[in-house]
């Protein structure tokens, strides 16, 4: 598995679009989008590759966010279902 720098860039681009997809203007979903962006902007690809603790912490935080987002779509434990 190769982790490319563009993965974070692409994820941040998606994060920038998410608020416009919140058609009902749900503040909880807006907060999750903000949290996702904050988490992604807090790391860089080099640190994720080099530091297992940074990678584990970031992955854990992203799993939590994805599971909370899954609640909006009727999914539970979305990260486990994808595995």
Question: For residue 60, what pLDDT is reported?
Answer: 93
Question: For residue 69, what pLDDT is reported?
Answer: 82
Q: Is the pTM of this model over 0.85?
A: no
Question: For residue 83, what pLDDT is reported?
Answer: 47
Residue-averaged pLDDT of the chain: 83
Output the CA–CA distances (angstroms, integers) from residue 6 to 10, 45, 77, in the order listed.
Answer: 6, 9, 26
Q: What digits encode the pLDDT tens for the residues 49-80?
A: 999 999 999 999 999 988 888 877 676 555 54
Per-residue HEC secondary structure of 13-37 comes to: HHHHHHHHHCCCCCHHHHHHHHHHH
Task: Give one word for 51, left, alpha or beta, with left for phi > 0 and alpha for psi -120 to 50.
Answer: beta
Q: Mean of the pLDDT values across residues 40-52?
A: 91
């Amino acid at each position: 598995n190769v982790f490319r720098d563009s993965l974070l860039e692409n994820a941040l681009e998606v994060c920038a679009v998410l608020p416009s997809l919140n058609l009902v203007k749900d503040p909880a979903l807006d907060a999750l989008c903000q949290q996702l962006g904050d988490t992604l902007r807090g790391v860089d690809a080099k640190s994720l590759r080099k530091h297992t603790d940074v990678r584990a912490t970031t992955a854990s935080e992203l799993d939590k966010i994805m599971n909370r987002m899954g609640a909006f779509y009727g999914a539970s434990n979305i990260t486990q279902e994808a595995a």
